[in-house]
Structure 1
Amino acid sequence: MSTVFLVSANTNVEPYPVYPIGMSVIAGALHNAGHKVIQYDMLATGNSLDHLRCALTEAAPDYAGISIRNVDNVDSFTSHTNKYIHKAKRIVDVLKESEVPVIAGGAGFSLLPEEILGFTGADYGIIGEGERKMVELIARLEQGEETKQIYGKEKGIPGKEILVPRWEPQLLRYYLDQSGVINVQTKRGCEHCCAYCTYPHLEGHKMRVRPVDEVADELEMLCKCGADNIFFTDSVLNDRGGHYLQLAEEIIRRKIKISWCGFFQPGPIENDELALLKRSGLQAMEVGTDATSDATLKGLHKSFTFDEVMEFNDKCVAQRIPCAHFVIFGGPDETMETVREGIANMNSLNNCVVFPFSGIRLHEGTPLFTRAVKEGLIRGNQSLLEPFYYFSPQLDKDEMNAALTEGFKKRRDRLFPPDEGQQRINIMKKFGFRGILWDQLIKFDDQPGNKIPSQSLRDSAHAS
């Protein structure tokens, strides 16, 4: 069997450093197949190419793999774009100095496989879930067989067969020290059809849930290693089948002492379900509200209305559960009228944080990309290695950004522009705060009966 040197290329620390579980899942698959695996994290080793060279020389691997999590920072508002793909190229250049085959993969790679393979100079690439395909590719290379350069997507791995990451103790200690948060995946796939989203393209439309017992076992193991703050990285945690509720019940039954957060879609949820989640350790919710008015929600193919967003938020406030709503301005059917309506709507939401973004980074294979081509905003064959952002042709981008800046400038819990919000979070880090951090911006009233419902606040905003 072979020695495989895996590299996580991600060095982004905003909003906080994230453990490279994708690399560790691949490491587990290779280890189970009998290979010796070395997991190397660029962030945890100081982002030094010289250190990487030394580690490669010491390991003397037969194969190298690079996990590319992001292409860029998807922030249209900044004057510069953080192009992570250029860092990935420099890493590949170092890996190729060892004269071993270099295999690229990861979520970022899977969005632009041909372009990234050509740009970085990697020898092979794997699209989508890679644990089985990585083992198969190396087996073919070991046997000297002819093999294609890019392994395309295949049918998703069933939930009960999704591997637990091969957690690396040294990396665990690093991320616990740096952020205090460890990420865990309970399912793959996305059952929603949002116009801009790449999750269905990467993981499929069918939710594939991991056995609740297995996830709970993983949580217990992580707790023994000192991890008590968990972020569930599923595309949407609150699935229609209720797997997330079963997991909450199991966490309570086993008395697993964790605080946790995850991605939620706003929509119908019962008070007793929220109470159950809170008893299991729910600390906060990151909510994919995405748009700020009924017109723009429809334009993004969302399955809920803004009234449902308000009801969801009010129920969370009643349970004293902090929510952060992530929303995008400038999407399909956005006008200056809906921008003003959206600002008023978001400011009417009670006791929550809002992360507004400007424009939508386009990716081929999404309904929004198809719409942008039809609207003449982009060519069908245009390279997307350089980021291209969708803005509704019915508005002026600069006028919209000015309105957003003015509309949110007096709110410490409305973090726009995005880089300004990150600066506030960085200040909290300097004072020793760990975790998701944005929840520190929410102060619940000690007398819930005195709260003004969001609907009343919204009516007042539109009346003014």
Structure 2
Amino acid sequence: MKILLITTPKEGECVEGATPAYLLYDFSNYPPLGLLAIAANVDSRHELEVLDTVTKNMSIAETVEYIKKAKPDLLGLSVASRRLYPMKAVTARIKEELPDTAIIVGGAHPNEFGMQTMELGTMDYVMSGYCELAFPQFIENLDKIRKGEASKEIMSEVPGLYYRLDGQIKFNPEDEKAQSLDHLPFPKRDLVDLNDYFTAADKERMTTMFTSRGCPYKCTFCDVTEKQYHYRSTKMIVDEMEYILSLGIKEIHIFDDTFNLNRKRVIEMCNEIIRRGVKVRWTARVRANPLDREMLLLMKKAGLSRLHAGIESLDPAALIAMKKQITLEHIKDFFALCKELKINTLCYMILGFPEETREYRETFFKTLKKLSPTYVFINVLYPLAKTKLYDDLVANGFYPRDLWDDFFRNPVPNFELPPMRTPELQKEVVELMDNVHKRFYLSPSFIIQDLRRNMNPKMLMRKAKMAMRLIFANTLQENANGSHHSSPFPAKTSAY
């Protein structure tokens, strides 16, 4: 069979108002690891292609034309909730113009809203859960059906699959997720152009990898719903690092939800890297706690160059209310230790928590600078679906009904959930986000230090582009220009 797997184009995606475009699309571009992972075990007799429409900045129309020319037997799309409208637009067009092409949809959105996705009616199949093994099984069953060797009933064998049979939507329960992830294959990274992926903080070509999945913490704003912790063995982690290095990639970003959750596992991984003599630069997403000097020293010896830390707020009351389970002292100790050991940091922050005061916002930049982060990445608090933050807003009557559910059942272009704060406060918070980014990244001290860290000509061009966008950045105006379909059910004036 001819198989085409694509990322969903970003045209018409939700206007979240949480992350500015200059960070979302200019600071980094990560490979579609999910698609590359499910492709790994597909039998080589099939012709398989991966198209990253987001990286290629393709519109809905351009994506449709590409698919029409390719004429795949199977089209697979990976979709996050914010790109539900372009996914539906693409699949509706393909279903109309290529009726013999089977369509399957997976990704972060179907993992949580599989039935609603299937009920949109523009695809033949939806797959949820860990799909590295289920997807190749689905391919073989589909091939048998297309050849007339089996009936559609055999789709009942594929775990996590939604499909139609006799006019009804059927769902096969997902397989129980093992705690160990060692049975899953390495993503097939050679299916994409590895030169397309970067972060503005890295010196050379980079890629991402996972050493674990899931996060047991229950932060009120976070939409990570996998609360069980699944992990890979030290051997498998370092084996994949060696495989990545063989592709000519020198930098790896460990994309775990919480890399440092298990201290023993981190220590063992670092010792194995050192024992094998693997020369690799790597970064990881971590919490400010747990972390200690011995652990950090070993991580640096094993090639650690930067830590991405989800700090979220410097307001003690906000940290408690969001159930972050870290304190201001944890945060200060984390940055002090990284600074002492000369480990770069990227600090994720969120503005707009209800506990914030005007004084907090007025002193935010000064307080943030005292921590000496190498990079900052600031969002505005936004109520995502299936978070406690959003559920409480619905339960308390701020939103008159579940507006996300309305959107999931009837996706519209450029959907915008009404802000959870007054227009005046929303303006203040978004402008503060833009101004802090400008003051931080356009300061002479940052520019000089960053040039010393990285003189790669290609990366300098990307950073120059980002700087120009940042100089003229106005996220409020950009969101207003992009938003044409806010919810028809208005919220109250303010949740706080």
Matched residue SS, 2:330: helix
Relative to structure 1, the CA distance from residue 124 to residue 331 in structure 2 (aligned partners, 3 Å threshold; closer, same or farther) is: farther
- 2:29–2:198 contact (8 Å) kept in structure 1: no
Greater CA drift, 186-195 or 306-315: 186-195
Relative to structure 1, the CA distance from residue 170 to residue 29 in structure 2 (aligned partners, 3 Å threshold; closer, same or farther) is: closer
Residue 25 (str. 1) matches residue 37 (str. 2): yes
Query: How far apart are the structure 2 equivalents of 1:252 and 1:434?
Result: 32
The one-letter code sitting in structure 1 at the alignment partner of 2:130 is E
- 2:28–2:197 contact (8 Å) kept in structure 1: no
Matched residue SS, 1:121: coil
1 or 2 for the larger relative contact order (CA 8 Å, sep ≥6)?
Answer: 2
Partner of residue 186, structure 1: 211
Partner of residue 89, structure 1: 88
Partner of residue 207, structure 1: 229
Residue 296 (str. 1) matches residue 304 (str. 2): no
Partner of residue 196, structure 1: 221
Q: TM-score, normalised by structure 2?
A: 0.71
Residue 65 (str. 1) matches residue 76 (str. 2): yes
- 2:39–2:188 contact (8 Å) kept in structure 1: no
Query: How far apart are the structure 1 equivalents of 2:4 and 2:397?
Result: 44
Matched residue SS, 1:311: helix
Residue 357 (str. 1) matches residue 379 (str. 2): yes
Q: Residues 58-92 of structure 1: CA distance to partner in whole angstroms, max 9, x if unpaired?
A: 5642x221112x344xxxxxxxxxxx444333432
Partner of residue 98, structure 1: 98
Q: Using the TM superposition, give the Cα deviation of residue 341 of structure 1 relative to its aligned residue in structure 2, in angstroms.
A: 5.7
- 1:24–1:167 contact (8 Å) kept in structure 2: yes
- 2:81–2:108 contact (8 Å) kept in structure 1: no
Partner of residue 352, structure 2: 330
The one-letter code sitting in structure 1 at the alignment partner of 2:218 is C
Query: How far apart are the structure 2 equivalents of 1:157 and 1:43?
Result: 32
Query: How far apart are the structure 2 equivalents of 1:4 and 1:52?
Result: 15
Partner of residue 458, structure 2: 432
Q: Residues 196-248 of structure 1: CA distance to partner in whole angstroms, max 9, x if unpaired?
A: 2122x1xx212111121112111111111101111111111112343223222
Partner of residue 368, structure 1: 389
Which among 136, 151, 155 is matched to residue 176 of structure 2? 155
Relative to structure 1, the CA distance from residue 395 to residue 413 in structure 2 (aligned partners, 3 Å threshold; closer, same or farther) is: same
Residue 144 (str. 1) matches residue 132 (str. 2): no
- 2:182–2:233 contact (8 Å) kept in structure 1: no
Relative to structure 1, the CA distance from residue 134 to residue 409 in structure 2 (aligned partners, 3 Å threshold; closer, same or farther) is: closer
Query: How far apart are the structure 1 equivalents of 2:300 and 2:28?
Result: 23
Query: How far apart are the structure 2 equivalents of 1:123 and 1:341?
Result: 53
Which among 248, 256, 261 is matched to residue 234 of structure 1? 256
Relative to structure 1, the CA distance from residue 117 to residue 313 in structure 2 (aligned partners, 3 Å threshold; closer, same or farther) is: same
- 1:117–1:125 contact (8 Å) kept in structure 2: yes
Greater CA drift, 12-21 or 112-121: 112-121
Partner of residue 123, structure 1: 124
Partner of residue 222, structure 1: 244
Partner of residue 79, structure 1: none
Query: How far apart are the structure 1 equivalents of 2:81 and 2:117?
Result: 9
Q: Residues 320-341 of structure 1: CA distance to partner in whole angstroms, max 9, x if unpaired?
A: 1111111111124334344346
Query: How far apart are the structure 2 equivalents of 1:166 and 1:272?
Result: 32
Question: Structure 2: 5+ residue runs without aligned partners?
Answer: 11-23, 146-150, 154-164, 408-414, 468-496
Matched residue SS, 1:433: helix
Matched residue SS, 2:40: helix
- 2:29–2:197 contact (8 Å) kept in structure 1: no
- 1:354–1:413 contact (8 Å) kept in structure 2: no
Q: Using the TM superposition, give the Cα deviation of residue 434 of structure 1 relative to its aligned residue in structure 2, in angstroms.
A: 7.5
Q: Using the TM superposition, give the Cα deviation of residue 53 of structure 1 relative to its aligned residue in structure 2, in angstroms.
A: 4.6
Q: Using the TM superposition, give the Cα deviation of residue 371 of structure 1 relative to its aligned residue in structure 2, in angstroms.
A: 1.7
Query: How far apart are the structure 1 equivalents of 2:356 and 2:58?
Result: 40
Identity %: 19
The one-letter code sitting in structure 1 at the alignment partner of 2:459 is F
Q: Using the TM superposition, give the Cα deviation of residue 360 of structure 1 relative to its aligned residue in structure 2, in angstroms.
A: 1.7
Query: How far apart are the structure 1 equivalents of 2:329 and 2:462?
Result: 27
Relative to structure 1, the CA distance from residue 207 to residue 13 in structure 2 (aligned partners, 3 Å threshold; closer, same or farther) is: same
Matched residue SS, 2:314: coil
Partner of residue 396, structure 1: 425
Relative to structure 1, the CA distance from residue 15 to residue 86 in structure 2 (aligned partners, 3 Å threshold; closer, same or farther) is: farther
Matches within 5 A, 1:214-293: 214-293=236-315
Q: Using the TM superposition, give the Cα deviation of residue 288 of structure 1 relative to its aligned residue in structure 2, in angstroms.
A: 0.4
